[in-house]
Structure 1
Amino acid sequence: MNLNESIIIDIQSIINKARESAVRAIDHERVIMYWQIGKRIFEEEQNGRERAVYGKRLIEYLSDKLQPQFGQGFSSRNLINFRQFYRKFPIVSTLRTQLSWSHYRFLLTTNNNEKIDFYIQETVKNNWTARQLDRQIGSQLFERLLLSTDKESILSFARNEKQPAEPKEIIKDPMVLEFLGLKPEAAYFEKDLESALIIHLQEFMLELGNGFSFVARQKRIHLDGDDFFVDLVFYNRLLQCFVIIELKAHKITHGDLGQLQMYVNYYDRIEKLAHESPTVGILLCLEKNDTVVKFTLPEKSNIFASKYQLYLPTAEQLSQEINNEILKQKDKENE
C-alpha cells in the first residue's frame, strides 16, 4: 500500500468514528431531553389536587400546545411515555449513552427491574440495535434463559462478573426462530430449515447468544470410505469449544442422538486442540422427549436437545415451560 492510500483510509476512519460519536451524542441529548420533560410533567402532576384527572388534562393540554410547534413527537401518547420514562429511571446519571430513545421506549414495556438491568447490560455488551432489543424482549430471552440456569447467574453473565462455565448455561430451550418465515402448519424438510437459517444467519446468531461464531455448513466427515455431513458447526469463544448443531424437523429419536454423538466424538478426537474444551452437540428438533434423551446419553454428556418453535411465545406459554422445568428438576432431586 502506498502513502496516499494509507492516509485516505486513516482519514475515512476518523470521519466515520466522528460521525458515529456525533449521532450517539445527539441521541443521548434527545434521551436527556425526554427525561427532563417527563420529570417536569411528573412534578406538575404532584401539585394537582385530583391527580388522575389533573394528569389527563395536563397531558392533553401540553400536547395541544407543543404539537403545532414541535411536531408529532409530542403527542399525548409520547408525553405519557416521557413521564413513565422518568418514573422508571429517576436518576439521570444512570442513563446509558449507548442507548437511544428507541431502546428506552422498548424497555418501558418491561416492569421487572432485574429484567430491565439484564436487557440494558446485554444491549451495551452486544451493541444491539433497538430492533434487536425489541426482538429479544418479545421472545422473552430472560425467561427462556431461566430454563437452563438461575437468575443470579443470568445477571452475573450480563454484567460480565462471571463467564459461563458449562454448556447448559449458554443453550436456550426453546429456541425461537420466528424470523425464518416458515409456517408451523406448513410441510418443510430439514434442508429447508437449514437454508432458512443460513439466509437469516445474523438473526440466528442473535438467538444463539453470546460468543458464537459460524464455522461451516454441511461439514463433510470422511470415515473409512463413508461420508457424513454435519448440518451446522459453530465455535463458542466463551467456552472455547466447537458447537455442532443437527437439525431435525420431527420429534427426537434415539437414532438422532446417536448420529450427533458420533459427530461430537469426531470433533473431540480429530478437530479439537489440546487447550480447547470438549465439543458441544445441540439437537435442534421440532419436538423432544426428555426421557429418550436421558436413557440414550450418558449421565454426564455434552449433548443437548433443544426444541425450536417458529413463532414468538406468549407469556402464558413461557410460564408453563418454566413451571414444567421446575417440576422436572424437583423430580430429579427426588430420584
Structure 2
Amino acid sequence: MNEPAIFKLDEQFVSDIRNIIITARTTAIRSVDFERVKMYWKLGERIFIEEQKGQDRAEYGAYLLQNVALEIEKEFGSGFSVRQLERARRFYRTYPIATALRTQLNWYQYRLLIQISDNDKREYYELETANNNWTGRELERQINSGLYERLLLSNDKKSVLEVARKERQPESPTEIIKDPMVLEFLGLKPDAAYYEKDLERALITNLQAFLLELGNGFSFVARQKRILLEDDEFFADLVFYNRLLRCFVIIELKTHKITHEDIGQLQMYVNYYDRNEKAPDENPTIGILLCADKNDLLVKYTLPENNNTILASKYQLYLPTEKQLAEQLRIELQEFDQ
C-alpha cells in the first residue's frame, strides 16, 4: 500500500489566504462602523427638521429630545439617550452634507471631532485621521496633546493644512517635527532623577507610541548606532528614516539643559551620516536634540545662520493644557512680530 503523498504548502499561498480573511473582516467591521455613523447622521437630520417646527418656542428642542429619548431608550437602550441624541443633532449641524462623511472614520472619532469648534483645527484632525488610519484612541491622544497647536508654533496655518490635504509634501523638518514633544506615554515622572539610558529604554519599549508622536513618515532604523572614527567609538542614540523628507533623522537624548558640546556632538553624527550613509539622491540628514530644557539663543549662535538640519526639541512628560499651548503660541507670535 502506497504511503499518502506529503505536500508542503507554499508560504505565499498561505499568506494570501490569511490576507483575504483579514481584509474581509476589516472591511466588514468598517462597513458596520460607517452604518452606525450614517444612522446618527440621519437621526441628527430628523431631529433638526422636527425642531424647526417649534423654532419659535425656545423650550421645544429640550422637550423633543427628552421625550423621544424616553420612548426609544425602552426599546434600543442607552445608545439613544438624550446626550446621544444631542450629539447626533450636533453631528448633523457640523457635517450637513452626508456625502462628505468619510468611510474611514467611526462614530467615536466623529464624536471627538464635533467637540472641536475651530473649523480649520477640526479639518486638520479629520484629514490626518483618514490619512494615517488613526484609531479613536490615537486621535484622542493627538487632540489632547495639542498636536495642531504645537505644529502652529513653528508653521503657519496654511502650510499645516496644505500638508494634511496632501496638496504638497513637507519641505522642511519643522513642518513635521514638533517642539515640544509630548512623551506622557512613557509613564516617567517629571521630578524623577533618571538617565539618558532610562529615557532611551522607555522610548524603545513604547516605540509605536513614539512613532505616532514623531509624526508622518518615520520608520525606526537603529538604536545606539556605532560610529567608528579611527580608534574612537561613538554611539548615536536613535536613528530613524523619514520617507516624506527623504532623509535620515538622528535623535540624541539629553535629560539636562543642552550645551554647545551637545550640539557639536550631534553635528558630528549628522556629518558622518551625510558622508557615509546618505545616498546621492537623498536629502541631508537631520539631527534632533531631544532635551529636558533648551536655550534657543545658544542653539542659534552655536550653529551657522543658514542651519536647517540641527533642531532642538524640548520634551515634556505630561499632556499640556489648552492654556499652556495658547500661551506658547502667543509668545511665538510676539517673537515673530518683533
Q: Do both share a fold (TM > 0.5)?
A: yes
Q: CA deviation at 1:9?
A: 3.3
Equivalences for residues 91-240 of structure 1 within 5 A = 91-240=97-246
Q: CA deviation at 1:2?
A: 4.9
Asked if residue 313 in structure 1 is aligned to residue 325 in structure 2, the reply is no
Amino acid at match of 1:315: E
Q: Secondary structure in 1 aligned to 2:306?
A: coil
Asked if residue 328 in structure 1 is aligned to residue 338 in structure 2, the reply is no
Unaligned residue ranges in structure 1 (runs of 5+): none
Amino acid at match of 1:170: I
Asked if residue 249 in structure 1 is aligned to residue 255 in structure 2, the reply is yes
2:129 and 2:21 mapped to 1: Cα distance? 25
Whether contact under 8 Å (1:245, 1:282) holds in the other structure is: yes
Q: CA deviation at 1:6?
A: 4.8
Q: Secondary structure in 1 aligned to 2:40?
A: helix
Q: Secondary structure in 2 aligned to 1:77?
A: helix
Q: Secondary structure in 2 aligned to 1:265?
A: helix
1:304 match: 311
1:282 match: 288
Q: 1:104 to 1:253 in 2, by over 3 A?
A: same
Q: 1:293 to 1:54 in 2, by over 3 A?
A: same
2:63 and 2:80 mapped to 1: Cα distance? 15
Q: CA deviation at 1:5?
A: 5.2
User: Identity of aligned pairs, percent?
Assistant: 61
Asked if residue 9 in structure 1 is aligned to residue 2 in structure 2, the reply is no
2:236 and 2:12 mapped to 1: Cα distance? 42
Asked if residue 72 in structure 1 is aligned to residue 78 in structure 2, the reply is yes
2:259 and 2:24 mapped to 1: Cα distance? 55
Q: CA deviation at 1:249?
A: 0.8
1:4 and 1:191 mapped to 2: Cα distance? 44
1:250 and 1:52 mapped to 2: Cα distance? 58
Q: Secondary structure in 2 aligned to 1:207?
A: helix
CA deviation profile, 1:229-255 (whole Å, cap 9, x unmatched):
111000011111100001111111111
Amino acid at match of 1:259: Q
Q: CA deviation at 1:50?
A: 5.3
Whether contact under 8 Å (1:178, 1:310) holds in the other structure is: yes
1:286 and 1:51 mapped to 2: Cα distance? 57
1:327 and 1:6 mapped to 2: Cα distance? 59
Normalising by structure 1, we get a TM-score of 0.95
Q: CA deviation at 1:226?
A: 1.2
Q: Secondary structure in 2 aligned to 1:132?
A: helix
User: Higher mean Cα deviation, 94-103 or 217-226?
Assistant: 217-226
1:220 and 1:255 mapped to 2: Cα distance? 19
2:24 match: 18
Q: 1:20 to 1:297 in 2, by over 3 A?
A: same
CA deviation profile, 1:271-310 (whole Å, cap 9, x unmatched):
1111111110000111110110011111122101111111
Q: Secondary structure in 2 aligned to 1:148?
A: coil
2:12 and 2:229 mapped to 1: Cα distance? 49
Structural RMSD (CA): 1.5
CA deviation profile, 1:151-200 (whole Å, cap 9, x unmatched):
11111101111001112221111111111111112222111111111111
Whether contact under 8 Å (1:285, 1:305) holds in the other structure is: yes
1:316 and 1:101 mapped to 2: Cα distance? 28
Q: 1:265 to 1:87 in 2, by over 3 A?
A: same
Q: Secondary structure in 2 aligned to 1:305?
A: strand
Q: CA deviation at 1:328?
A: 2.3
1:16 and 1:328 mapped to 2: Cα distance? 51
Q: CA deviation at 1:3?
A: 5.5
1:84 match: 90
Number of equivalenced pairs: 331
Q: 1:209 to 1:150 in 2, by over 3 A?
A: same
Q: Secondary structure in 1 aligned to 2:64?
A: helix
Q: CA deviation at 1:119?
A: 1.0
1:178 and 1:186 mapped to 2: Cα distance? 14
Asked if residue 44 in structure 1 is aligned to residue 53 in structure 2, the reply is no
CA deviation profile, 1:60-111 (whole Å, cap 9, x unmatched):
1122111121111111111111111011001111000000001101112211
Amino acid at match of 2:322: A
